[in-house]
Structure 1
Amino acid sequence: MQNNDMTGKAAAVTVFICILFGANPVAIKFCLAGVGAFTAAGIRFTIAACAIFIWARYKKIPLTLTHKQLGQVLILSAIFVVQLSCFYNGMGKTTASHGALISNVLPFMVLILAHFFIPGDTISFKKGIGITLGFVGVLSLFFDEQDLAGEIQKGDFIVLMAVFLWSSSAIYVKRIISEYNVIQITLYPMLFGIPFFFIGGFLWDDQMIRLINPTIIKAILYQAIVTASFGFVAWNTLLQKFGATALHSFIFIMPLTGVLLGILLLGEIFTPHLAAAIVCIVAGVIIVNFKREKKPVPVV
């Protein structure tokens, strides 16, 4: 299915999921106040994998993989582990607002990769303008006054690397997802990734768990149940039906949610560079996905 096949109901669900995902960087910031980056990812996906597995058993959804599928899932799992490791470590250094905005470069990276790896999905002049605006918006973040210490800028680069891996994963999933059910493509990267997250926590987190309080517990549960369980399954279901380009046209909702919640809940500063990034990125997404309706040709 192509972009114009998305129904109003599917669009509304996509908007809701994007709002949930947009709040995730804020939840991660709360979580990282007491839990190491790798450990936080391990705990999150352990809970999420258990929830998804229980749901699959309840619904009697088949989980068995063929030999070919196992090889594909292992590739996807490797990308997943590196992507989430980068994202959590980057979020530990940057702000929730920056993390949310940089995440929105995803649709532009998806377009670029789709141009090379998905037949017929080429970059037009209009898409090129949108992509340029999106990257200009992200670039403006690296000149934000908050970056003077250098730590935030380092975190921004790491999050940007995570987003590139996320876009690579989205293209790869789109190429293989017809051979899977949604639960398989969501559950197995988590299962294979969990041991590596905890090993990373043991080796590289300063302290795996420094502090546990109700706020940190709620932040972990939000990431695990709301986004990693419900969110991932719903997202992959929509991806399977409507395609990467149609789905990622709604990504601009995530940074708007993330910036707003970062300011309201974390007291982050709304700077001119942040405003410029929002304008450029949102404008880029709108330009990329705007389609002029064709007027019907009158029948003579």
Structure 2
Amino acid sequence: MTAERFFTHPLGIMISAVLATFLWGSAFPFIKLSYKLLDIQSNEIGEQILFAGYRFFLASMLIYLFFYLVKKDMRFKRRTFQPILKIGFFQTFLQYVLFYVGLSLSTGIQGSIIAGTTSFFQMLLAHFMYTDDQMNRRKIIGLIAGFSGVIVVNLTKGDFQLDIGFGEILLLLAMFSGGLGNILAKEGAKKMEIPYLTSYQMLIGSLGLLVIGILQVGFFPFSFHLTSFFILLYLALLSAAGFILWNNVMKYNQVGKVSIYLFLVPVFGVFLSALILGEELHLFVLLGLVLVTSGIWIINRK
């Protein structure tokens, strides 16, 4: 079975998108564990950005090494520099700088809910960029169902007050940047292999994160031991696998058809945090999962 046939088959789309969002959702508890082990506080933005730089740099190297060993041509091609630079800037660098700064200035519950808006931005961008991927009533209903699921999942985290400040604006910009980066990756994938595109965009994005982090806190302010190193390695692996799967899903399908799956990320994040960190798991998580699944079904049903 060819890659295109797999990633356009309904079952292939579902397996790939759910696995990618599951991997990204698992990042939440493992990032929390890393921060605890490395003594990174919630207000230490420089350390957080530097750690993200480590993660994505390592992810880019793992992708490069794996596909180099299986005889893929991974040599950098000068003609791809401009699109790779754009993708890396929006999909990795800008998204995560805005995300970490915004999260430090926002409440936990509002940050978690706003982090679920990438689907909306992707579908909105697709509406204006692709004539065959317009918003319609079914997509709007699916988006409402999916976003409602994200809100329900986060209701247990504290009192929600609709207060849009500077932190919330930065988080919205971060999600817009991520959505735009995913669209740019879809366009770039028309001329580049997915492993090549993903590896180099992560490399460029991570170098920007590393520069900011190093200027803030130095090159190596952390005391790694075996557990924290293997968690970093897992975070890099999930980033590599998640982005390769998602960029393939985006490459072969309409944006509006697959973006709804991104609402699963915070649902998986809350569920896995309860499983791994022992955080309390409420029935709201199951209700949220039902709502998100309903949104996926509404948008993708024939």
What TM-score, normalized to structure 2? Answer: 0.77
- Residue 48 of structure 2 is aligned to residue 37 of structure 1: yes
Tell me how far apart the structure 1 counterparts of residues 288 and 166 of structure 2 sit (CA, whole Å): 18
Confirm or deny: 8 A CA contact 1:106 1:166 kept in the other structure.
yes
Identify which range, 208-217 or 139-148, moves more after superposition.
139-148
- Stretch moving more, 59-68 or 71-80: 59-68
Q: Partners of 1:237 and 1:114 in 2: how far apart?
A: 17
AA in 1 matched with 2:185 = V
Q: 1:127 aligns with which of 121, 132, 139?
A: 139
* Contact 1:113-1:168 within 8 A present in 2 as well: yes
Which one-letter code corresponds to 2:53 in the other structure?
Answer: G
- Judge conservation of contact 1:56–1:183 (CA < 8 Å) in 2: yes
Of the three residues 27, 36, 53, the one matched with 2:64 is 53
Q: State the secondary structure of the residue aligned to 1:178.
A: coil
Q: Does 1:11 align with 2:18?
A: no
Greater displacement, 101-110 / 84-93: 84-93
Q: What CA distance in whole angstroms lies between the structure 1 residues aligned with 2:112 and 2:145?
A: 17
Q: Is the 8 A contact 2:19 2:242 kept in 1?
A: no
Counterpart position of 1:197 = 209
After superposition, the C-alpha distances for 1:30-74 in whole angstroms (9 at most, x for unaligned) are 223325211111111222122112123212222345554211111
Q: Is the 8 A contact 2:55 2:236 kept in 1?
A: yes
Per the alignment, residue 291 of structure 1 pairs with 301
Q: Would the alpha carbon gap of residues 272 and 93 (structure 1) be closer, same or farther in structure 2, given more than 3 Å must change?
A: farther
Aligned to 1:163: 175
Give ranges in structure 1 of 5+ residues lacking alignment.
293-300
In structure 2, the gaps of 5 or more residues are: 41-46
Q: Does residue 263 in structure 1 map to residue 266 in structure 2?
A: no
For the aligned residue pairs, the C-alpha RMSD in angstroms reads: 3.9
Question: What corresponds to 1:251 in structure 2?
Answer: 262
Task: State the TM-score, normalizing by the size of structure 1.
Answer: 0.77
Identity, in percent, stands at 23
Give the alignment of 1:13-92 within 5 angstroms: 13-33=16-36, 34=38, 35=40, 36-64=47-75, 66-79=77-90, 80-90=92-102
Paired position in structure 2 for 1:295 = none
SS at match of 2:229: helix
Distance between the aligned counterparts of 1:150 and 1:216, measured in 2?
A: 36
Asked if the contact 2:125/2:180 (under 8 Å) is kept, the reply is yes
Shift of the alpha carbon at 1:229? 1.9
Cα offset for 1:23?
A: 0.7
